[in-house]
Amino acid sequence: MSTLTAQRQKIHPHKFLLWIAIASICMMFAGWTSAFMVRKAQGNWLFFSMPMAFWVSTAVILASSVTMHLSIKEFKKRNMSLYKKLISLTAILGVVFMLLQFWGFYDMHIAGITLASNGEGVSGSFIYVISGIHLLHMLGGVIALVIVFFVVNFRRRTKVYSSNGLEILGTYWHFVDVLWIYLFLFFLYNQK
């Protein structure tokens, strides 16, 4: 086996670190959702419908995952014009997702489900905290996407055609997308 072939079989150090971070994030959310279940089992739980904004944001995040996948595919084909459009659309969809989440929080607040509530309202508190922590992870992805957006749209020339950075961003983006789907289904199932 040649040295070049051996190097291609190794995982990039940044990708390895990303997978470690993803494992850590999974454990954190497993802890939060477990705490949710334990507290729910104690009784005195408020059941309410998920805000419509959370339903819409779920569709938006799924669309952003598709555009991210397609943008990486176009980058690898060196179709830079379509890549720029798709990565820009992914960034926009990420921002829209975050705005919809805040809209959902606002709807919950208007319905009397607040973060700092006592007694029955603790179920809403869990949703605020867990989805708020997810939003922080989304913010990291959105910031990275906005940086990529500015680089691809305002830099005159692409100097590096390595897809490593974009693949790392894509993996992270798909992860936070799947994480939201898990959390949304978890909340939906546990609010019945």
What span, in angstroms and rounded, lies between the C-alpha atoms of 94 and 139? 8
> CATH number of the domain at 13-190, out of 3.40.50.970, 1.20.120.80, 3.40.718.10, 1.10.490.10?
1.20.120.80
pLDDT digits (tens, 9 = 90+) for 6-36: 556 677 777 888 889 899 999 999 999 998 8
Rounded-to-integer distance, Cα 74 and Cα 86, Å: 9
pLDDT, tens digit, 9 for 90 and up, residues 55-102 = 999 999 999 999 999 999 999 998 888 998 999 999 999 999 999 999
94 burial via Cβ count (<10 Å: 0-12, 13-18, 19+): buried
- Look at 133 and 45; give whichever has higher pLDDT: 133
Mean residue pLDDT across the chain = 85
* Residue ranges per structural domain of the chain: 13-190
* Nearby residues of 14 by Cβ (< 8 Å), 6 or more positions away: 164, 165, 168
Residue 93 is predicted with a pLDDT of 96
Distance, CA of 138 to CA of 140 (rounded, Å): 5
Q: Find the range with the poorest average confidence among 80-84, 148-152, 153-157.
A: 153-157
Q: What is the pTM of this model?
A: 0.85
- Name the CA radius of gyration of the chain, rounded: 19
Whether 126 has a pLDDT exceeding 60, the answer reads: yes
94 close to 63: Cβ distance less than 8 angstroms: no
